[in-house]
Amino acid sequence: MERHNKAKPNNIAGHTPGSIVAPESSAGQASGADIRIRVVAVSSRASVRRRLSSMLHGHVESLNFVEDAPSAIEHISTTNCDLVIIERALEGTDGIDLLDQLSANHPALVGVIIGQIENTDDAIRAMRAGACDLISIQSRNAQTTRRLLDSVKRAERIRQRDARVDRLKKLCHKLNTARQDVSGQVGNLCNDLVSAYQDLSEQFGDVKLATEFNALLRQELEIESLLRTMLEFTLSKIGSTNAAIFLPSSSGDYSLGAYVNYDIPRDAAEVMLDQLADTLAPQFENITEVVSICGRIEMEEAMGSNAHWLEDSALLVVSCQQDDECLAVLGLFRDESMPFHEEDVRVLSIIAKLFGEQLGRVIRVHHRHLPKDQWGAIDPGFYDGPTDSDDDDDLFSADDDHFGFAA
């Protein structure tokens, strides 16, 4: 070992100024923790280089030498460095000022000042510049070595601390990403639950509506009372609107069975409804789904040249069927400034289905003496509408023609 130490300074002394020397590493002389520290020494004196190389040989991963401040700044900026050892007396530069500049640019860098410290003010200035130790080059070799190795250990602790911080940052990033993923999944789950709850609520509402309406219809076995009950229930759920029920006759045409007049001029109501029996009902007799139309443009697309009867109106129309046979066509219409909503469409679809089924039962009851192939059409003479003396005519308004039946 002594022969190796003596030969090494001779090799270092032979290098030109500014050269970098990487000492040989020895696994038997250093632990795994020591060997990872990378050191840069700033000194132009060969004797100082030899002493540092002798003291740190085998205890660090690399030891590189530079001679002046510009070389030190460039080298540390372009390579990884854990510990910098700076001689106080550099050519044209105070080592303390150099350490101050390096510490500002590399906060994790551990610095050591070697050389003569003139007074307390210099010592304070060196500590403020980031020096962890001030070592006199005149100190005994064993003491200098121990203090340098202490600086190496300090650099290793800072290196390990920074590595832990980096690992924690990466873990925090992963945890934050996982948190965002979980939050997104929880948010999606909550949205799904809200949607499921809304769907379930709608289903419960539909079941309640169907049960309530079916209970009323089951009591009606006369066509007049059945139509009246259906219109009363429909308006109670959808609100004020014109409504008309068109019934098929044995001749294949449609006639007005019952109506509610909400905002049609009295003189024009019957004419308009009779025209709709000839135009609207045949056009939608095979449409089992509720059709929603609003405004002149949509009305023209749906009804063509007959659209003028309902222009500037909102319309809901549906065929009431049983066993794929149209037993009635139900139409609701009002000014387009009060359009129908999706809830109205769903309610009307339930009403139309149940009304068609009950209408079929009533037909079977009253036509049971006829052959079955003659049950589908409702004879205009099947029932008589109420007379002007009937008290029940005035159901929705004081005017008789706001609610009526047609024979």
The pLDDT assigned to 372 comes to 54
Decide if 236 contacts 244 (C-beta within 8 A).
no
For the chain, 407 residues long, the average pLDDT of each consecutive 10-residue run is: 36 38 40 68 89 88 90 90 89 87 90 86 88 80 86 89 91 92 89 83 80 85 88 91 90 88 84 89 89 88 86 90 89 91 91 89 69 49 37 38 48
The pLDDT assigned to 330 comes to 93
The pLDDT assigned to 291 comes to 92
H or E segment to which residue 326 belongs: strand 325-335
Pairing type for strands 62-66 and 83-87 reads unpaired
Decide if 307 contacts 313 (C-beta within 8 A).
no
Pairing type for strands 83-87 and 254-260 reads unpaired
Which residue(s) pair with 114 in the sheet?
87, 135
The pLDDT assigned to 175 comes to 92
Domains and CATH numbers, the chain: 2-169 (3.40.50.2300), 213-405 (3.30.450.40)
The pLDDT assigned to 202 comes to 75
The pLDDT assigned to 333 comes to 92
Residue whose tokens read 């929880």? 186
Q: Give CA 334 to chain center in angstroms.
A: 40
The pLDDT assigned to 219 comes to 84
Model's pTM, two decimal places? 0.50
